Amino acid sequence: MLPFHVPHLTGREQSYVDQVFESGQFAGNGPWTNRVQAFLQSSLEAPHVLLTHSCTGALELAALLSGIGVGDEVILPSYTFCSTATAFLRTGATLVFCEVEHSTLNMDVHDALSRLTSRTRAIVPVHYAGLAPDMDALRQAAGSKGLRIVEDAAQALGVCWSGKALGTLGWAGAFSFHETKNVHCGLGGALALSCDADFERAEAIWERGTNRSKLFRGLVDKYTWVENGSSFYPTECQAAFLLAQLEAQQDIEERRRTLHDRYSLRLRPMADLGWLRTLAHDSRIRTNFHAVPVILQSASVCDALRQHLLRASIQAYIGYVPLHSSPMGLRLGYQSADLPATEDIAPRVLRLPIHTRMGVADVDIVCDSISDFFEHSAC
Ligand SMILES: *Cc1c(COP(=O)(O)O)cnc(C)c1O
């Protein structure tokens, strides 16, 4: 079986975690957490980074910090993971779903901006597949209207837009270190913040609503409850594991690039034949090769291809079920017809396997099997 994903291991995670055991300090917000935060601050060129237990947590921290709540509107694509939505749903904000571009599966900025109202407070682009929507247009619109951009950069660690790290282009950016991402620690995440003024509050919200971090820095002599916070950080074991991965980020990216390049080479003739389509790649983006989504002509071809690959022991993965027409979305009052472009494309997306345990020969096996499907199947 060629699995869709296998979490990468560098071989150094265990020895770093052993060092946590030797130190006897496990709970988090300790030396390993600090090292990882400093590492990310420097690699992202971000003024502030807080390590979290997940990207879900990072988005929730951003939503709490933003003060966006009842009566406020947040614009986000429907084509995303549900955490993008729940972060703001739980602060009481109204979710305004927008379309994605068919060429990139990223936010359709034109459509997003057409949904602005006097109540809009934030726009949440989701950097799907290590790509991005037009961040220049988005930043310009947000800047002129005083809106916050919260980037869901869960899939975008290492991706640059015009030389600047995704996740640092807006007010806040949330990253994921879930084991399905390029760089991971089992479960983990981070929030990058661009504004100095918000950092003190962010840190308190992150520290269960206390100013304990100030105690560590010797700024207060006892710590106390100062914010409506929660418990957002991971353990020191996760931070240590993550540092080993972050140190190998370039190596991981290189390996994925080799596989991704091979996919591009092999899929291009199939695209020319009209069998499928790959995502367009804006020249301002330097990607991290997170995913290889292909778009088929219909939902039934997509499903038949997935079954065909599975019979050849290849695991491919479906795209997102749009949030607005999911069971929760319908319960919130959205209707499937609200977003026709998203409804049309979502069931036609198939993600092909890409992970560091694969070689170029595996990419060829996948692509041969796709060719075989189109040459010999009835559809
Ligand atoms: C993976 C992912 C998340 C959730 O990340 P966790 O770290 O598992 O909470 C959120 N949004 C997007 C777009 C993702 O791909």
Instruction: Look at the block and give the residue holding tokens 């106390």.
Output: 224
Residue range 161-179: mean pLDDT, rounded = 98
pLDDT attached to residue 198: 94
334: left (phi over 0), alpha (psi -120 to 50) or beta: beta
Q: How far apart are the C-alpha atoms of 327 and 333, rounded to whole Å? A: 10
Q: How far apart are the C-alpha atoms of 241 and 326, rounded to whole Å? A: 35
Tell me how many helices (H) and strands (E) the chain has. Answer: 14, 14
For all residues of the chain together, what is the average pLDDT?
97
Sheet holding 160-161, edge to edge: 164-165, 160-161, 285-286
With a cut of 70, say whether residue 13 has pLDDT above it.
Answer: yes
Sheet holding 292-295, edge to edge: 277-278, 292-295, 349-352, 317-318
Q: 136 exposed, middle or buried (CB, 10 Å; 0-12, 13-18, 19+)? A: middle
Query: Which of 84, 104, 152, 176 gets mutated to test ligand 1 (max ligand atoms within 8 A of its CB)?
Result: 176
pLDDT attached to residue 217: 87
Confidence of residue 368 (pLDDT cuts 50, 70, 90): very high
Q: Which two tokens stand for residue 61?
A: 């921290």
Chain-centroid distance of CA 94 in Å reads 22
With a cut of 80, say whether residue 378 has pLDDT above it.
Answer: no
With a cut of 90, say whether residue 215 has pLDDT above it.
Answer: no
Q: Which two tokens stand for residue 358?
A: 């694969």
User: From the CB of residue 31, how many other CB atoms can be counted at a distance below 10 Å?
Assistant: 14
If you take atom 6 of ligand 1, which residue's CA is the nearest one? 55
Nearest atom within ligand 1 for CA of residue 127: 13
User: How far does the centroid of ligand 1 lie from the alpha carbon of residue 83, in Å?
Assistant: 7
Residue range 282-301: mean pLDDT, rounded = 98
More confident residue, 203 or 216: 203
List ligand 1's pocket residues with C-beta within 6 A: 54-56, 80-81, 83-84, 126, 152, 154-155, 176, 178, 189
| pTM, to two decimals | 0.97
pLDDT attached to residue 216: 86
Share of the chain above pLDDT 70, in %: 99
* DSSP three-state, residue 46: coil
Confidence of residue 379 (pLDDT cuts 50, 70, 90): low
Nearest atom within ligand 1 for CA of residue 181: 1
pLDDT attached to residue 85: 98
User: From the CB of residue 19, how many other CB atoms can be counted at a distance below 10 Å?
Assistant: 14
Chain-centroid distance of CA 131 in Å reads 10
With a cut of 70, say whether residue 354 has pLDDT above it.
Answer: yes
User: How far does the centroid of ligand 1 lie from the alpha carbon of residue 84, in Å?
Assistant: 8
pLDDT attached to residue 377: 77
Q: How far apart are the C-alpha atoms of 44 and 159, rounded to whole Å? A: 10
pLDDT attached to residue 127: 98
pLDDT tens track for 41-95: 999 999 999 999 999 999 999 999 999 999 999 999 999 999 999 999 999 999 9
Write the CA distances from 152 to 19, 62, 207, 228, integer angstroms.
Answer: 32, 10, 22, 23
The count of C-alpha atoms lying within 13 angstroms of the C-alpha of 309, restricted to the half-sphere facing its C-beta, is 27
Query: Which of 155, 157, 185 gets mutated to test ligand 1 (max ligand atoms within 8 A of its CB)?
Result: 155
If you take atom 1 of ligand 1, which residue's CA is the nearest one? 154
Share of the chain above pLDDT 90, in %: 96
Confidence of residue 138 (pLDDT cuts 50, 70, 90): very high
- In one letter, which amino acid is 131? L
With a cut of 60, say whether residue 187 has pLDDT above it.
Answer: yes
Query: Which of 4, 5, 51, 81 gets mutated to test ligand 1 (max ligand atoms within 8 A of its CB)?
Result: 81
Spatial CB neighbours of 265, under 8 Å, sequence gap ≥ 6? none
Query: Which of 83, 191, 323, 349 gets mutated to test ligand 1 (max ligand atoms within 8 A of its CB)?
Result: 83
**Nearest residue to 277 via CA among 261, 292, 258:** 292
Q: How far apart are the C-alpha atoms of 284 and 274, rounded to whole Å? A: 27
Q: How far apart are the C-alpha atoms of 5 and 316, rounded to whole Å? A: 9
pLDDT tens track for 219-267: 888 999 999 999 999 999 999 999 999 999 999 999 999 999 999 999 9
With a cut of 60, say whether residue 123 has pLDDT above it.
Answer: yes
If you take atom 2 of ligand 1, which residue's CA is the nearest one? 154
* DSSP three-state, residue 193: strand
Q: 343 exposed, middle or buried (CB, 10 Å; 0-12, 13-18, 19+)? A: middle
User: How far does the centroid of ligand 1 lie from the alpha carbon of residue 231, in Å?
Assistant: 18
